[in-house]
């Protein structure tokens, strides 16, 4: 399935450059591994699309409601963070 979403210029550039390999989105739509996420750059100041588009294959999906790792008090105090990962160069530190 192909899913189109807006993305602000700052994040569009990071994704394009390969520095941002994840998306944090409200879970108000269905998405599965193998889907194509079509990211259309959106200028929030002009309230218009810029015309630039990126297509990315979805390789992993998790939802915060599924996360039962921490007590509610800790989540309220610290919140969540999403961490993008990539392979270390030449397989270093791989065991």
Q: Which of 26, 41, 24, 32 is nearest to 3 (CA)?
A: 32
Domain count, the chain: 1
Residue 94 maps to a domain:
no
Q: Residue 64 has which token pair? A: 């915060």
SS3 49: strand
- Model confidence pLDDT, tens digit, residues 7-59: 999 999 999 999 999 998 888 999 999 999 999 999 999 999 999 999 999 99
Domain span at 6: 2-86
Specify the CATH number for the domain of residue 44: 2.30.130.30
Instruction: Spell out the residues 6+ positions from residue 20 whose beta carbon is closer than 8 angstroms to its own.
Output: 11, 14, 84
Q: Which of 69, 61, 52, 55 is nearest to 23 (CA)?
A: 61
Residue 92 maps to a domain:
no
* pLDDT above 60 for 91: no
- Model confidence pLDDT, tens digit, residues 49-68: 999 999 999 999 888 776 77
């Amino acid at each position: 399935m192909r899913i189109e979403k807006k993305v602000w210029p700052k994040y569009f550039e990071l994704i394009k450059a390969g520095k941002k390999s994840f998306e944090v989105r409200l879970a108000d739509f269905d998405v599965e591994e193998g889907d194509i996420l079509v990211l259309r750059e959106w200028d929030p100041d002009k309230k218009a699309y810029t015309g630039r588009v990126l297509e990315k294959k979805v390789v992993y999906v998790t939802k915060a409601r599924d996360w039962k790792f921490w007590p509610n008090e800790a989540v309220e105090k610290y919140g969540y963070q999403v961490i993008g990962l990539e392979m270390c160069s030449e397989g270093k530190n791989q065991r």
